[in-house]
């Protein structure tokens, strides 16, 4: 029966394509209502309640809703999403000044012993785009401003290359005090500063956050992979797009990575442009 065999093979191919499509949308399981109906009548003397009984039915409804939400956000999948965002970031009513007051002359970790200044996040507090780096360097520690040294000058050029000005974006670091010798902050040091960064993100609610280097992406998202594996692919932080890319200081050491960084930032530019057009 060659015709039946060919039909079966075609059905298998189409099923595989459909499963692949659902996986790209982030759907792990789809239940139909028919599958929830018992094959045999229920024999029981218990009175059937008018309230919905099986939890599986609720689960099916949620799954169906998830599928609908995934298809309705197909616009965003063009920019690297592999799953529908889950938890959304709640807007904050506090101010940057509230956060600065809480930080004060911070002595929460050993970095305060050798720092010159606490370096706060800087820029447009209504920015659509935010950059998050690792920690201040020597120039930043002296001037009490983020990204003002050679790496900062390169970052400014990158921002201008995607059609923005430095004062239009928000720029900060995971840590606000310079680690000795410009080493990466330890987990303990980062954990002291991270809550203040998250509070700033909640205030601004940027559309995209560009994380610069390993420390930034690992602290913001708890990522286990390194930047070389994560870069160029949009991640999600409570409904906010996150684009991991190389730190400008690394680009100064290895200029060959500038091309990859440019590709990452073009995706950010295109996403922001598309959102502006769709609104």
For residue 23, the model assigns a pLDDT of 53
The whole model's pTM is what?
Answer: 0.71
Query: Sign of torsion, CA 66 68 74 75?
Result: negative
Cα separations (Å) of 106 from 93, 173, 175, 228?
23, 15, 11, 33
pLDDT, one tens digit per residue, over 17-37 is: 655 544 544 444 444 434 333
Return the domain boundaries, the chain. Answer: 7-34+52-72, 96-278
> Band of the pLDDT at 97, cuts 50, 70, 90?
very high
Among the CATH numbers 3.40.50.10860, 3.30.200.20, 3.30.70.2190, 3.40.470.10, which is that of 96-278? 3.40.470.10
pLDDT at 152 over 90: yes
Whether the predicted pLDDT of 71 surpasses 50: no
Please write the tens of the pLDDT for every residue from 166-224: 999 999 999 999 999 999 999 999 999 999 999 999 999 999 999 999 999 999 999 99
> Which tokens belong to 172?
């900060």
Q: Tell me how far apart the alpha carbons of residues 161 and 251 are, in angstroms, rounded to a whole number.
A: 15
pLDDT in tens, 119-128: 999 999 999 9
Question: Quick check: 232 and 260 in contact, CB under 8 A?
Answer: yes
Per the prediction, the chain carries an average pLDDT of: 81
218-243: pLDDT as tens digits: 999 999 999 999 999 999 999 999 99
Q: Compute, in degrees rounded to 10, the torsion defined by CA atoms 194, 197, 202, 205.
A: -130
């Amino acid at each position: 029966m060659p015709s039946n065999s060919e039909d079966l093979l075609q059905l298998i191919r189409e099923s595989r394509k459909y499963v692949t499509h659902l996986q790209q949308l982030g759907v792990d399981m789809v239940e139909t209502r028919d599958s929830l109906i018992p094959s045999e009548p229920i024999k029981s003397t218990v009175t059937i309640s008018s309230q919905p009984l099986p939890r599986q039915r609720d689960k099916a409804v949620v799954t169906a809703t998830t599928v609908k939400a995934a298809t309705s956000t197909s616009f965003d999948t063009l920019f690297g999403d592999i799953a529908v965002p889950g938890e959304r970031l709640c807007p904050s009513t506090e101010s940057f000044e509230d956060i600065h007051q809480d930080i004060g002359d911070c002595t929460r970790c050993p970095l305060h012993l050798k720092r010159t200044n606490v370096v706060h996040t800087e820029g447009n507090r209504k920015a659509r785009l935010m950059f998050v780096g690792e920690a201040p360097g020597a120039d930043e520690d002296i001037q009490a401003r983020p990204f003002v040294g050679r790496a900062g000058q390169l970052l400014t050029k990158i921002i201008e290359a995607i059609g923005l000005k430095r004062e239009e974006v928000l720029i900060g670091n995971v840590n606000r005090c310079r680690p000795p010798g410009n080493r990466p902050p330890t987990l303990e040091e980062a954990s002291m500063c991270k809550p203040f960064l998250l509070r700033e993100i909640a205030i601004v609610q940027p559309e995209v956050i560009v994380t610069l280097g390993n420390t930034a992406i690992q602290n913001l998202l708890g990522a286990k992979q390194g930047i070389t594996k994560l870069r160029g692919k949009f991640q999600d932080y409570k409904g906010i797009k996150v684009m991991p890319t190389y730190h400008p200081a690394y680009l100064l050491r290895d200029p060959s990575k500038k091309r990859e960084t440019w590709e990452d930032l073009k995706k950010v530019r295109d996403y922001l442009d598309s959102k502006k057009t769709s609104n």
